[in-house]
Every structure is written in C-alpha cells, then in structure tokens.
C-alpha cells in the first residue's frame, strides 16, 4: 500500500478497529496508541483498540491505553469498515480477535517482521524498520499529519522498546533521526526510558533471578536456556508478561549464541522465546510454525515443556 491509501481508507471508513498482538509489547501498544490519536486528531474519528491478554503494568502510562478493550467486548456480528493490524507478524498473532479482523470490509496490515506474509487488502511491510513505530512515523510525517505529544511519546516507546534501548542490530541512523525528531516534538527521553525499563514490579525481577539461576548451558555454553513452569509463575504470583526480558538476560552472557526461554503454558503447550547474536533464530522458530526477526523470534510448541525443550535444542544445534 502507499501512504495515500492510509488516508483514503481512514476517510472512507464509518468505523475503525486497531489490533495489537498477543503478549502485547511496547511496539504493538505504542503503535496502536499512536494510530488511535492520529486518527482522532487528524480525521476526527474514534477508533476501537483491541488488546489480547493483559497489558503489562509498565505500559499503563501510554495516553488513553485504558480505552483499549479485549475482543469479547465487541459484539459477535460486528462488521467494521476498516481493520488495522499493527506489528502483527502473522494473523494468528491477533488471537481470538482475528475473526473480527477477517470480517472487516477493508483490512490493513502494517508491520516490520520479515516473516509477515502480507495478509490483508493493504499491507505495508518494511523489514528494515526497527519497529512498527518507525514505519508509522515515516507515514505520518510524509502525510503531513499532526504529531502531538501523545503520538510522539507512543512512537518513542515503540522505538525504544523494540531496539532494546537503541542497542539491537535493528538500530539504524534513521532510528536515531526519528528519535531526535520525537524529542523535538516534546517527548522526554529519560521519562519514557524510566517507564519502560525501570518500573518493573518486584516479583518480576525475582522471577527473572530464579529463572536465571535455573538456566542450563549446552554446546560449549553457546546455547543458554531456561524453563519457566506454571508452578514458578504461581510461586512468584507472576502475570503473563513477567517473563519478558529473561531471554535477553541469557543472551547477555558472552558465550551465548542462542538463548531460549521455554514457558509452560499448560501440560501440553510450551511458548518459546528465542534471541541470538548471529544465528537467524527466525528459521528455528519457523521450524515450529513460529516466526519473528533474525535475532528475536518465537513459537508455540504443542508439547509438554520437557519434550519441547529436547526438540528445540535439537533444532538449535543444527544452526550453530
């Protein structure tokens, strides 16, 4: 799609719904909120925001995120004029809300995952963009749309979190140029960084410490992994998002090439997060019908955690 298609579809729409992805992160939430405010302030339209799963506490500062709803709050036969998927690598990442997306008259897909297959009627997939927020910034600027502080803070959150604080390989000259412009638009960089990185709930940090203590290392310490069970989650009274950041901590170890966190969702389901320094882990995730980026990917394996671990390790070894 080109940028004018965005404007045309917003103007023609009677009602608009925006979808973020399951296990929402700073990019999908920041981008969704930025879209919400841009649509409201530039086109005078109120969009419905859909979240799947709990919004991590740290993102409660995003302006008007409390307006976001879960898909079950939308009537079953509702047909929206326009549905926008933001930062959604694959349709199943919308969770149960996907049926609402599918029913919409016009479907738009804005994303930066290279594994995105371009689902929808209009897709804007830019794998070189560090975040969905970066794609939106370019589009808003190009269309001459008003970027107020709410939009600026939200896009900055997207970019800051998806680049791991401007540290990951996806951080480009352009990323810094956009960040610089957002600060000029009124965002306080230090304030957003404090919300995103230094406002963790205490049990989250303790769960992380426990998971790191239980980590295992294979193949000359090139593989670092840990399993988080349902009983660990219960012990630390952890919310779903409390496992965020553990896989990144395993990658911090000098010898680590591939880091993995296996999370027991139930007796038969294991959610896997993968991070690496050189290996393309999106290929490993794809072997289990998952996807993502070269150095950050994920998948869900329909096996008990111990069996999933063996299968995953076997697959990782093929890429070392």
Residues that bind ligand 5GP (CB under 6 A): 23, 89-90, 93, 113, 115, 273, 290-293, 296-300
How far apart (Å, rounded) are the C-alpha atoms in residues 53 and 71?
Answer: 10
As measured in angstroms, the least distance from the Cβ of 298 to ligand 5GP is 2
**If we measure between CA atoms, which residue out of 280, 225, 234, 229 comes closest to residue 256?**
225
SS3 labels along 262-320: EEEEECCEEEEEEEECCCCHHHHHHCCCCEECCCEEEEEECCCHHHHHHHHHHHHHCCC
Q: How many residues bind Mn ion (CB under 5 A)?
A: 4
- From the list Mn ion, ligand 5GP, none, pick the one residue 161 interacts with, judged by a Cβ distance below 5 to 8 Å according to partner type: none
Q: Which is nearer to Mn ion, 27 or 257 (CB)?
A: 27
Q: How far is the CB of 4 from ligand 5GP (least distance, A)?
A: 28
Min separation Cβ 144 and Mn ion, Å: 25
Q: Of 6, 10, 27, 293, which lies in the binding site for Mn ion, with binding defined by CB under 5 A?
A: 27
299: partner contacted, choices Mn ion, ligand 5GP, none (Cβ within 5-8 A by kind): ligand 5GP
Q: How far apart are CA 75 and CA 97, in angstroms?
A: 11
Report the residue number, 37 or 271, with the smaller CB distance to ligand 5GP.
271
Euclidean distance between CA atoms 225 and 212, whole angstroms: 9
Kindly identify the residues of this chain, within the stretch 161-180, that bind Mn ion according to CB under 5 A: 162
48 vs 10, 39, 305, CA distance in Å? 13, 11, 36
Least CB distance from residue 220 to Mn ion, whole Å?
Answer: 32
Q: How far is the CB of 192 from ligand 5GP (least distance, A)?
A: 19
The residue (of 27 and 241) whose beta carbon lies closer to Mn ion is: 27
Chosen from ligand 5GP, Mn ion, none, partner binding at 27 (C-beta under 5 to 8 Å by type): Mn ion
Parallel, antiparallel or unpaired: strands 106-111 and 258-266: unpaired
Residue 89 touches which member of ligand 5GP, Mn ion, none, C-beta under 5-8 Å by kind? ligand 5GP
CB of 86 to ligand 5GP, least distance (A): 12
Q: How far apart are CA 109 and CA 116, in angstroms?
A: 9
Which of 30, 290 has the CB closer to ligand 5GP?
A: 290
Q: Does 87 bind Mn ion (CB under 5 A)?
A: yes
- Interface residues toward Mn ion, by CB under 5 A: 27, 87, 131, 162
């Amino acid at each position: 799609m080109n940028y004018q298609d965005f404007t045309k579809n917003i103007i023609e729409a009677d009602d608009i719904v925006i979808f973020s992805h399951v296990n929402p992160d700073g990019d999908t939430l920041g981008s969704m909120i930025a879209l919400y405010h841009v649509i409201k302030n530039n086109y005078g339209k109120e969009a419905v925001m859909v979240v799947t799963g709990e919004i991590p506490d740290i993102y409660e500062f995003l302006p008007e995120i409390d307006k976001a709803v879960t898909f079950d709050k939308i009537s079953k036969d509702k047909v929206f004029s326009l549905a926008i998927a933001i930062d959604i690598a694959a349709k199943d990442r919308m969770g149960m809300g996907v049926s609402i997306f599918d029913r919409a008259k016009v479907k738009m897909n804005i994303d930066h995952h290279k594994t995105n297959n371009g689902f929808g009627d209009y897709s804007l997939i830019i794998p070189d963009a560090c975040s969905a927020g970066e794609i939106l910034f370019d589009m808003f600027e190009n269309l001459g749309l008003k970027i107020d502080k709410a939009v600026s803070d939200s896009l900055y959150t997207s970019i800051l979190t998806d680049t791991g604080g401007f540290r990951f390989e996806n951080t480009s000259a352009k990323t810094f140029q956009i960040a610089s412009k957002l600060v000029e638009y009124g965002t306080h960089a230090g304030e957003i960084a404090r919300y995103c990185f230094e406002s963790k709930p205490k049990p989250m940090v303790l769960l992380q410490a426990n998971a790191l203590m239980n980590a295992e290392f294979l193949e000359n310490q090139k593989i670092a992994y840990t399993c988080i069970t349902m009983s660990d989650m219960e012990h630390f009274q952890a919310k779903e998002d409390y496992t965020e950041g553990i896989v990144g901590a395993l990658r911090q170890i000098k010898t680590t090439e591939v880091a993995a966190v296996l999370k027991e969702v139930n007796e038969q389901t294991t959610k896997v997060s993968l991070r690496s320094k050189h290996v393309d882990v999106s290929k490993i995730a794809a072997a289990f019908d998952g996807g993502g980026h070269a150095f950050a990917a994920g998948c869900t394996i329909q096996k008990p955690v111990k069996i999933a671990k063996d299968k995953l390790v076997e697959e990782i070894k093929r890429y070392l």
